[in-house]
Amino acid sequence: MPPSTDHLTPADYAAIARELDALREEITADLGERDADYIHRVIRWQRGLEIGGRALLMASALPPAWLAGTATLAVAKILENMEIGHNVMHGQWDWMRDPKIHSTTWEWDNVSPAEQWKHSHNVVHHTFTNVLGKDDDVGYGILRVAPEQPWSWGNVPQPIYNLLLAMFFEYGVALHDLELDKIREGTHDEEATKAKLRAIGRKIRRQWGKDYLAFPLLSGPQFVSTLAANFTANVVRNVWAHTIIFCGHFPGDVEVFEEDYPLDKETRGEWYVRQLTGSANITGGPLFHLMTGNLSHQVEHHLFPDIPSNRYAEIAPRVRDLCARYGLPYHTGSLSKQVASTWKKIFRYALPGGAPKPKPAPKPPAREPVAA
């Protein structure tokens, strides 16, 4: 575990696990009508925004209508990917037993096939969070974002890679489950890779057919302007999703774990602490949290990935209090702070070295002894 946890005892880890397990059980037992009303309401808003945005684009090619339609469509796409798609596919709403809003049936507005995303994200990332060599989300296979990662000359232009990744993030996500490192090493299953590529191709054709052919054709003389608007809305959505996700994983003192981290011996309490130290939040108001898919509460999301996202705001103060009592870091900051910190890392680790100076282990917090 990182130096920030050196003061924790086995009894502390056990107590942290008990407290967070109890919090999870409390929230799960309280789920009900208000939560179901919330997700149904967000889906109605999202569909209304998408219909409104596309109608504006078909109605007029005048700049004000184009801008309004493009912005409205971009907001609809952000809501669908962040607060709806991401969270539904995490199983956060499976308890409702609604086949239309279920992790096994939802297919999102994105070129990444849902099944592949659920494997690379729900299974791999949320199991091996920030463990080098096991969590492919650490740098997405092309970026060096920590000094523990080996440096090569290919890292030098990584600020440019990151800008392109932001603009076309959905394609980076689509390729994520291919395990590109194994393809480069020649250790991948060729048939499985081909099957995944075919699924990605089908999804891309579906998305392009909708955004770049069907809706532009329906707009008649506004074909070109509608096509441009759809492309712009997709890029805006991609940049926003990339920004929020990177700010939840890479800023400041967020920890990474060496490749030899003993996952097979990890206790429940240690798993919780790894999620706490390997994630970061973004401060903001209710509308901001909605537009981030509540991934501005990335710490709480990593602790409880299948609890409905609308509950993270009420969980957050209790998680922060736990961190204070056990002397654990609770990484949080404004969007501007987290963006600047993340990009600083990307520029710094494009160059060799960068190992941080050793920090003294924090003093144990003043608190009552914890019973085993």
pLDDT attached to residue 369: 46
pLDDT attached to residue 371: 46
- In DSSP notation, 273-314 reads HHHHHT--EE---HHHHHHTTTGGGHHHHHH-TTS-GGGHHH
3-state secondary structure labels for all residues of 162-181: HHHHHHCHHHHHHHHCCCHH
As averages over each run of 10 residues, the pLDDT of the chain (372 residues) reads: 85 98 98 98 98 91 91 98 98 97 97 96 95 90 91 95 96 88 79 94 97 95 94 98 96 90 95 96 98 98 98 98 97 97 96 68 50 43
The alpha carbon of 238 is separated from its chain's Cα centroid by a whole number of angstroms, namely 12
CA contacts within 13 A on the Cβ side of 229: 32
Asked if 312 and 260 touch (Cβ cutoff 8 Å), the reply is no
pLDDT attached to residue 5: 87
pLDDT attached to residue 187: 81
Q: Report the distance separating Cα 76 and Cα 224, nearest Å.
A: 21
pLDDT attached to residue 367: 54
Listed in sequence order, the residues at least 6 apart from 3 whose beta carbon sits closer than 8 Å to its beta carbon are 358, 359, 360, 361, 362
Q: Counting beta carbons within 10 angstroms of the beta carbon of residue 20, is it exposed (0 to 12), middle (13 to 18) or buried (19 or more)?
A: buried
pLDDT attached to residue 358: 52
Asked if 55 and 83 touch (Cβ cutoff 8 Å), the reply is no
Q: Which of 348, 262, 335 lies closest to 298, judged by CA?
A: 335
Please name the amino acid found at residue 139: G
pLDDT attached to residue 368: 53
Q: Report the distance separating Cα 269 and Cα 260, nearest Å.
A: 19
Asked if 297 and 313 touch (Cβ cutoff 8 Å), the reply is yes
Q: In the 8-state DSSP scheme, what is residue 186? A: T
pLDDT attached to residue 370: 46
Q: Identify the residue whose tokens are 């194994």.
A: 182
